[in-house]
């Protein structure tokens, strides 16, 4: 198995630069994962494919306003601070101050030990918060730093929402539309650097139609990191170091999974982040899924992996040579997935985060 096995030619013009006019009006490619058979449908037709007692499991995290555009104090030079995850174990957090792992630009001018501070202003031109670069992240591979965020407003949360921007994937250029369209309608806790995009296609009305049909609906949380967009550079994917993310699978979701299995329903992961959460919570010792509360996972799903929890999945189309291409190939087969992608490109499906969807059953 080579990383190049998961490569394909992605026409630039098919990378969706904005969301569909209607969330559930995008296209849906339905694939039988055992035969590779394909059907072209519309996303709201997912109702036709789900059965009473099936269970949809979604990742309910929201995207943080993690992109902070500011200026270096003292020089006024343009600077950017990108929030990755909060640091809890180094110093007490207050309403007005907290430590975060961050990426910065320009890296050469924002080094720990230099006293570098980035001031970030709100729409009125007032300083909403400041980021002091205080340390390197231990074992960092991309120059990650520790920054102390502080504000004179009532809370950091208020400051971030005044001055921060929702980050979009690097392949989406110049989108100036409603940033809320890069959030799922059911999102709650702001803890992700990127959206769980398979869920973007659901509307409140579609969710109610599914529930009325007897389809169950439960949630997990996985704090999506930026590495979700990375391609695998190693020739052998087994040499790739998978990033660590934090996930939660509540007791009610475990109970719903076990009830679904008992009654002959299917557990359907909405997105690769839900899939990784559900497969990560499987206990080989107990031979069952177990409740998890913000535990770390670096689960890397490659072809040959044995799925223990999930029976079907809803997913978007993914970047070539990515760990996500490998995951969906593991869930079906490389040959069937590559065939589905060739079909989608021939039929001019819209690709990647703002694009169309697949249902793999």
347's tokens: 């039929």
Give Cα 275 distance to the centre of its chain.
11
Contact 91, 220 (CB under 8 A): no
DSSP, collapsed to helix, strand or coil, labels residue 180 as: helix
Q: Could you tell me the pTM of the whole model?
A: 0.93
Q: Which of 122-126, 141-145, 169-173, 209-213 has the lowest mean pLDDT?
A: 141-145
Mean of all residue pLDDT scores within the chain: 95
For the segment 66-85, what is each residue's pLDDT rounded down to a tens digit? 999 999 999 999 999 999 88
For the segment 23-33, what is each residue's pLDDT rounded down to a tens digit? 999 999 999 99
For the segment 154-170, what is each residue's pLDDT rounded down to a tens digit? 999 999 999 999 999 98
DSSP, collapsed to helix, strand or coil, labels residue 231 as: strand
Question: Per-residue pLDDT for 260 more than 80?
Answer: yes
Q: Rounded to 5 degrees, what angle do the CA atoms 244, 246, 247 make?
A: 130
Q: Please give the pLDDT value at position 229.
A: 65
Higher per-residue confidence, 13 vs 86: 13
DSSP, collapsed to helix, strand or coil, labels residue 93 as: coil
For the segment 92-112, what is each residue's pLDDT rounded down to a tens digit? 889 999 999 999 999 999 999
Mean pLDDT along residues 46-71: 96
Residue 305 has a CB neighbour count (10 Å cut-off) of 15
Q: Of 84, 66, 86, 79, give the one whose Cα is nearest residue 165.
A: 66
Mean pLDDT along residues 38-42: 98
Mean pLDDT along residues 3-7: 97
Domains, the chain, with CATH or none: 3-63+178-360 (3.40.1780.10), 67-163 (no CATH)
Q: Of 310, 245, 243, give the one whose Cα is nearest residue 275.
A: 310
Mean pLDDT along residues 237-241: 90
Backbone angles phi, psi at 284, to 5 degrees: -60, -35
Q: How far apart are the C-alpha atoms of 261 and 228, rounded to whole Å?
A: 30
Contact 182, 199 (CB under 8 A): no
Q: Please give the pLDDT value at position 177.
A: 92
Question: Per-residue pLDDT for 141 more than 80?
Answer: no
């Amino acid at each position: 198995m080579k990383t190049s096995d998961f490569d394909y030619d992605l026409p630039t013009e098919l990378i969706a630069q904005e969301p569909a006019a209607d969330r559930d009006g995008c296209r849906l490619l339905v694939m039988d994962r055992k035969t590779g058979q394909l059907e072209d449908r519309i996303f709201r037709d997912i109702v036709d494919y789900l059965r009473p007692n099936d269970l949809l499991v979604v990742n309910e995290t929201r995207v943080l306003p993690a992109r902070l555009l500011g200026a270096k104090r003292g020089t006024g030079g343009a600077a950017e601070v990108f929030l990755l995850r909060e640091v809890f174990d180094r110093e007490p957090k207050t309403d007005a101050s907290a430590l975060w792992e961050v990426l910065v630009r320009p890296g050469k001018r924002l080094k720990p030990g230099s006293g570098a501070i980035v001031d970030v202003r709100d729409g009125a031109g007032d300083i909403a918060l400041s980021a002091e670069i205080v340390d390197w992240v231990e074992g960092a591979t991309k120059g990650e730093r520790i920054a102390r965020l502080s504000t004179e407003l009532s809370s950091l949360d208020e400051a971030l929402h005044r001055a921060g921007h929702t980050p979009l994937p690097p392949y989406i250029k110049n989108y100036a539309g409603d940033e809320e369209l890069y959030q799922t309608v059911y999102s709650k806790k702001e803890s992700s650097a990127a959206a769980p995009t398979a869920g973007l296609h659901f509307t409140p009305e579609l969710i109610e139609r599914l529930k009325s049909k007897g389809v169950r609906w439960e949630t997990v949380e996985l704090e999506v990191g930026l590495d979700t967009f990375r391609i695998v550079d190693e020739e052998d994917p087994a040499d790739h170091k998978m990033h660590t993310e934090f996930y939660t699978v509540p007791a009610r979701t475990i109970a719903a999974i076990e009830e679904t299995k008992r009654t002959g329903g299917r557990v359907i992961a909405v997105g690769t982040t839900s899939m990784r959460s559900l497969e990560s919570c499987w206990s080989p010792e107990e031979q069952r899924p177990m409740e998890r509360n913000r535990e770390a996972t670096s689960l890397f799903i490659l072809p040959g992996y044995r799925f223990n929890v999930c029976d079907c999945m809803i997913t978007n189309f993914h970047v070539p040579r990515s760990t996500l291409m490998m995951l969906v190939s593991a869930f079906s087969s490389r040959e069937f997935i590559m065939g589905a992608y060739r079909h989608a490109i021939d039929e001019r499906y819209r690709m990647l985060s703002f694009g169309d969807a697949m249902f793999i059953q």
